[in-house]
Amino acid sequence: MIFTPAQQNIIKEICGIEFESLEDILQKPVLGALDDDFSVEEILEMYGCSRKDFDENLIDTYHQFQVLHDDPEGLFKLGRYEILIFIQILHLLENRWKDTYPNALINLWNKIFIWEAANEVKN
């Protein structure tokens, strides 16, 4: 799929947002607690995941977003998990681009929906 320059800017900005988020998590020695009962580390342990494994997955995600940042045309080459992250960021922060790139934003959403529908048919 071909993205317009405005859509490529949106994609690159989303990558930058994901970089910041992943860097923040990776730099924390302790991830804190999700609720009063369990720390994030305890929850990871319950699922058989060490902090090292968790961090390695975050680094892998970081690298995938770096590839996307360098080549926005590769959006749909991301793994399913990374596509979900991308969609979540786009959804939560779309107000950033509504005024600057209104048509690009709408058409980016349309391309995502078309891609998802086409991939659902394949599966």
Task: Tell me the whole-structure pTM to 2 decimals.
Answer: 0.86
pLDDT of 120: 77
Q: What is the mean pLDDT of residues 91-113?
A: 96
Inter-residue contact 77 to 24 (CB < 8 Å): no
pLDDT of 122: 65
Q: What is the pLDDT of residues 28-85, one digit of tens each?
A: 777 777 667 778 888 888 889 888 898 899 999 999 999 999 999 999 999 888 999 9
* 105 Cβ contact list (under 8 Å, min separation 6): 10, 94, 97, 98
Checking if the pLDDT of 4 tops 80, the result is yes
